[in-house]
Chains A and B, each alone.
Chain A
């Protein structure tokens, strides 16, 4: 578990700091990108990571578009995708799952709960086919 890499896509610097802190404390390597455009560029030039944690409200490229891009990509669709968002309407949650999210955590959130979901997706059965 210690060598697994998580891609964090979050534009809020304070939130990004905390998430990175929590994930690194748990032993994960974290790649942080602050907007959707940078995220897409990264995914086009790097091999897939073990898990993606991402916000929906991102600059330049919408989080839903990013999810759909990953879902339709030959390799990146294999990385589990956890959405962490303040958008709490049922329609947004449904839309995120339809776009390819594997999990959805609403803000305000519990770091402990987020970590248990991360561990569940990264367990022996965590990688989606």
Chain B
């Protein structure tokens, strides 16, 4: 036995096992405690919701209810969450009644306090609440939040600012909107949806000060939101000597909005030295082209760039004035083997005869 325990390696192994077991036990206790805390918080929230849902429902239906301003901080947070949920689910008079009730309960004061001193989750809740209240006094706090690196918090703050004062927010936030690559386009489009016109106005107003990258993103946003732009602005971007990335972004916008005012420039860009510009120009022409453009599209089937040839073939297939049958006929008649390949692919994509 002594020999057994005198073995140093065995001793180390025993100590290591004991320590590992103790750490495992500690972890299990911590997990148990966190689970209990989580469930306790859920039960508190559920209990609070059961108490407040009938009150809020009565308010929604137009009954006047006594207000309770004597809520502890935890309950204040739950009330704000519940109120925001209802506010964003309802429209019309019901929404307005809910807002007045929340103001009477001091929810705006609570939200301002959270914006000032809260942790991240509380600031997030305050941004949502203050935006829904259209609370002017929240502007400096939201303005500070919008500059943070935290993507979720900054976007929520931006949304709130646009809710409170769309014109001012669009002006102050334009550069951020166009610069922050971490602000996903799809989220921005949702946020800007109610303020499309003011965003457009600010964009046009500040266009001369925008950098190349900002202009590219601006075109991308406008294309996705279906926002029209002044002809002079678009004309300036579609010049032959514009940066390639800007040209592609502007052509994508043109494809989406199908503005016929820029056809002349579009045709010129079909001869651009850069293949990706020609490819996008062909794609755009396919979207807004008419019967008179078929000849030009057929010419693009002979372009040196494979992608351009394929997009020309697809464009022809999509043109209402051309169609898949004529595409099939053209495929059989064309002599250029590269053009034939492009037409064959487009034909197959549209289920044409082999």
A-side residues, CB < 8 A to B, are 14-15, 17-18, 21-22, 25, 107-113
Contact = CB atoms under 8 A, between A and B. Distances in A.
A108 B57 contact: no
B92 A112 contact: yes
A110 B90 contact: yes
Given A15-B89, A18-B86, A22-B61, A111 B54 contact: no
Nearest to A21: B57
B91 A109 contact: yes
In this complex, the member of A18, A22, A110 whose beta carbon has the largest number of chain B beta carbons within 10 angstroms is: A18
Contacts of A15: 89
Chain A residues touching B, majority SS: helix
B95 interface: yes
Interface of B is mostly: helix
A108 B88 contact: yes
A113 B91 CA distance: 10
B93 interface: yes
Interface of B: 49, 53-54, 57, 60-61, 82, 85-86, 88-95
A39 B33 CA distance: 38
25 contacts: A14-B82, A17-B53, A17-B57, A18-B53, A18-B60, A18-B86, A18-B89, A21-B57, A21-B61, A22-B57, A22-B60, A22-B61, A25-B61, A108-B89, A108-B90, A108-B91, A109-B89, A109-B90, A110-B90, A110-B91, A110-B93, A111-B60, A111-B61, A112-B92, A113-B92
A14 B49 contact: yes
Nearest to A18: B57
A108 B90 CA distance: 4
B56 to A, nearest CB: 8
Nearest to A26: B61
Contact of A14 (B61, B85, B92, B94): B85
Contacts of A25: 61
Contacts of A109: 89-91
Contact of B94 (A17, A21, A107, A112): A112
Contacts of B93: 110, 112
